[in-house]
Amino acid sequence: MSSPSPFAWLWTPVDTDSKAIQQLKSDWLADNAASRPEDVTRKELEKNISLAEEAVEGLKDPTKLLDLAEAYGILSAKDKRCLDTCELMMQVAVPFLERKRQGDAHQLYGRCLFLVGRFADSLRALQRAKECYKEQGSSALRRVNNIGLLRAYAALGMWKEATKRLEVALTLCESKDDAIMIYTNSKNTLEGTGNARDAEMFDDIWFVHLDLNPETKALFENYNAMGENLMKNYAHKDEGPENWSDVIKENKGAVGLMILAIVAYFVIVYYIFIMFWPVLFPKVKSVMFPKSPT
């Protein structure tokens, strides 16, 4: 059986509603939420938007469009104003930005395009950001860009390229948790967009990274053990009783109270019947207990 063409993504439509794609979008949104200052309020973010809008009024300084797009994006990554501003920025502002800020502009634009399902366009924007960050970019910026590229390749089913981005991103991680998060999020999407061979390549890179980083390996194994124990506990709780004897065993107190309530009900009904039936049914009384002749 022949292997799929590496250019299949050009003509194969992407299921934008698939579980894997939704997971990738959720990861983008989670990253955006994590990038906000810890104590910032929505009111403060909206104030920043107002100030940025004033700064670009009349387009006297087109470079301020990036500040405005970022202000929209940090409030909500799915804000349509962010995408619209990025579209305008690409036309009139990007050439006037320094190289690092050009990278920021393309990176933000790539995220906006991804969230609206334009994955091929997103990939092109993220590739431009990559070139900018090569010239002027920190390890953190290059890591974020590689994660974005990984997601774009994954969405397009280009897992050979996605695997390469994972390898690069892992070398740029500043903490053990960063590496684990990149791997687990990417692995989740692989289940929906990749194939068995891609999964093996993906895992090979990850396990090599773990062998080279014993502390990350220990933390990863600890997380796995915690997750397995949690799943076992929930699985046990979700198992229902197989028969009525199991129900009674698991709910002895409730069953006992129910039996007492039923017995009390019949006792009360019997008492009411004995005490009040002659009054309620006098004809029945005269038939059952006729008066003796005097």
C-alpha to C-alpha distance for 74 and 93, rounded to whole angstroms: 20
Residue 4 lies in a domain: no
Question: For the residues 177-190, what does the mean pLDDT come to?
Answer: 76
Number of structural domains (the chain) is 2
Residue 126 exposure: Cα atoms within 13 Å on the Cβ side = 25
Residue 117 lies in a domain: yes
**85 and 61 both lie in a single domain:** yes
pTM of the shown model: 0.69
| Residue whose C-alpha is closest to residue 170's, from 124, 211, 131, 137 | 211
**Does the pLDDT of residue 107 top 80, yes or no?**
yes
Residue 293 lies in a domain: no
Residue 7 lies in a domain: no
pLDDT of residue 61: 86
Question: For the residues 111-138, what does the mean pLDDT come to?
Answer: 96
Residue 8 lies in a domain: no
C-alpha to C-alpha distance for 104 and 87, rounded to whole angstroms: 14
Question: CB–CB of 163/205 below 8 Å?
Answer: yes
pLDDT digits (tens, 9 = 90+) for 242-282: 555 555 555 555 656 666 667 666 667 666 666 665 655 55
Helix ranges (H only) for 9-63 are: 19-35, 42-55
Residue 110 exposure: Cα atoms within 13 Å on the Cβ side = 27
Domain that holds residue 172: 16-238
**Does the pLDDT of residue 179 top 90, yes or no?**
no
